[in-house]
Structure 1
Amino acid sequence: MKSIILGSLSLLLLSTTVAPIVKAENRAANTNVLSGTSPSATQIEPFNLVHLAYQGYLKDQGIPGYGALIMAYQVKQVSAEDIVRSAVKSNMLSPQVINDRAYNNAVNLQLENLRIR
């Protein structure tokens, strides 16, 4: 019984120290998007782009957010290329990224990881 309580407290402590770090990274990515600046492709990593799409930042471009994004990806209504094109239209990425096969593959991998969760 003591080990369960100790383990639970350890997990609670660990989660309270990790959560602020993750939120700080998300705020940094969101700041560029919300401020209207046009970051280069190196400023938005594929993970962050997919996360922003998941949060609904590309809804104006026709990319659904949250569970609808996962579903649309599963039924092939939305692809990695669609998300990259939408990010370029939203001035989140530079136009050169559309032809960057490695970047598109990385976005696709992040979408696959999102689907698995």
Structure 2
Amino acid sequence: MKRLFLGTLSVLMLSAAGIPAAQAEVNQDSSIQSYGYSEQEYRTTPFDLMGNAYNGAYEEMGISSGTNLLRDYQAGMVTAEDIVTAGIRDGDIPAQALQDPEYVGKVKRQLDVLSRDV
């Protein structure tokens, strides 16, 4: 009886160990398709694009950095589209990103979240 229990438990543990890997594959595939383009075309995620903007990578293009960026966003002087456009000009993302509402929306959500406490 003890052997049967241990054998069954071992099979269940091995089965459960494979589930996260299978889910990761599904999640990875859906995230690639979520923007409608291949992963290679979007080398820079919306999160990373915002990090670039916040750290001053787009200052030469008129995008403020740090808390000034967030204040400009709150004042309506900078939009998510402006940041995406700066990323395009800097070569971080392809031009079609500006036409991708999901990508632009994720940049906007980053701006919304970060500017709450400014």
TM over 0.5: yes
Q: Report matched runs for 1:31-110 at 5 Å.
A: 40-110=40-110
Partner residue in 2 for 1:18:
none
Report the structure number with the largest CA radius of gyration: 2
Does the aligned pair in 2 maintain the 1:41–1:97 contact within 8 Å?
A: no
SS class of match (1:64): coil
Distance across 1 between alignment mates of 2:112 and 2:48: 14
**What TM-score do the two structures reach when normalised by structure 2?**
0.63
Measure the CA separation in 1 of the matches of 2:100 and 2:66. 26
For 1:76 and 1:84, the matched residues in 2 are separated by: 15
**Are the equivalent residues in 2 in contact too, given 1:53–1:65 (CA < 8 A)?**
yes
Instruction: Report the 3-state secondary structure (helix = DSSP H, G, I; strand = E; otherwise coil) of the residue aligned with 1:76.
Output: coil
Distance in structure 1 (CA, Å) of the matches to 2:50 and 2:88: 13
* Secondary structure in structure 2 of the residue aligned to 1:84: helix
User: Whole-Å Cα distance in 2 between the matches of residues 56 and 98 of structure 1?
Assistant: 20
**Aligned counterparts of 1:56 and 1:64: Cα–Cα separation in 2:** 7
The Cα shift of 1:42 comes to 2.3
Q: CA deviation at 1:40?
A: 5.0
- Partners of 2:70 and 2:115 within 8 A in 1: yes
Name the counterpart of 2:5.
none
Question: Does structure 2 conserve the Cα–Cα contact (< 8 Å) formed by 1:53 and 1:63?
Answer: yes
2:57 partner letter: Y
Q: How many residues align?
A: 79
TM-score by length of 1: 0.63
Q: Residue 64 and residue 82 in structure 1: after superposition, are their counterparts in 2 closer, same or farther (change >3 A)?
A: same
Query: Shift in Å at residue 48 of structure 1?
Result: 0.8
Q: Which residue of 2 aligns with 1:16?
A: none
Identical positions, percent: 30
